[in-house]
Structure 1
Amino acid sequence: MNKLATHKRVNITLSPTAIRLVDKVAERGERSRLVDEAIRFYIREMGRAQIRKQLREGALRRAERDLGIAQEWSSLHDIWKKRRK
């Protein structure tokens, strides 16, 4: 299959600094591949950051409840250990 058939041409504008950076790391003729990979990486990382943020917020909302459960189970564990002796 023709590689171009799986991609769509778009025009973007980059700063001269960004172009210099791309040219430093991309092999000749590979700018598009580098930009494609960079976009995919950025979106994946942003998704992960959002998930981490939601997990952190959820943990903070449930912290008091979770501490109570842990203390309750700790008491039950202590009773269980005493009865085993």
Structure 2
Amino acid sequence: MKVKQRTTSYERVNITLPHETLLLLDRITEKGERSHLIEKAVQHYVSAVGQSHLRVKLKEGALARAKRDLEIAQGWFHLEDEI
């Protein structure tokens, strides 16, 4: 069975970072690994922000529909008394 491997193409970019950030990168990465660390950090950040945004949207939606949902539930309460 063939396993399809996903290849990622990379592009060289120039970024500007504060000196302290660059020192931190150099302290926690090996030579040649900055790009990998930055890639993982960006992926983690986007994932975390996405999850946070989703939670906010779910809460907003639940609050917006709360009155309607309560009215629907109350419409069914009388059926419990009949059982």
TM over 0.5: yes
CA 74–20 in structure 1, closer or farther in 2 if over 3 Å, else same: farther
The counterpart of 2:53, out of the listed 50, 53, 56, is: 50
Q: Provide structure 2 residue ranges, at least 5 long, that are not aligned to the other structure.
A: 1-6
1:26 deviation in Å? 1.8
What does residue 83 of structure 1 align with?
Answer: none
Change (3 A) 1:73 1:12: same
**CA displacement, residues 56-78 of structure 1 (integer Å, 9 cap, x when unaligned):** 11111001111222333333223
Task: Tell me the distance in 2 between the aligned counterparts of 1:57 and 1:25.
Answer: 40
Q: Calculate the TM-score normalised by the size of structure 2.
A: 0.74
1:64 aligned to 52, 63, 67, which one?
Answer: 67
Pick the structure with more helix per residue: 1
Deviates more, 1:68-77 or 1:24-33: 68-77
User: Relative to structure 1, is the Cα distance of residues 76 and 27 closer, same or farther in structure 2, using a 3 angstrom cutoff?
Assistant: farther
Aligned to 1:77: 80
Which amino acid letter does the alignment assign opposite residue 9 of structure 2?
A: T
Cα drift, residue 21 of structure 1: 2.2
RMSD, aligned α-carbons = 2.1
Match 2:11 to one of 8, 11, 16 = 8
Q: 33-42 or 67-76: which moved more?
A: 67-76
Percent of residue pairs identical: 44
Aligned pairs, number: 77
Residues of 2 paired with 1:77 and 1:9: CA distance? 66
The TM-score, its normalising length taken from structure 1, stands at 0.73
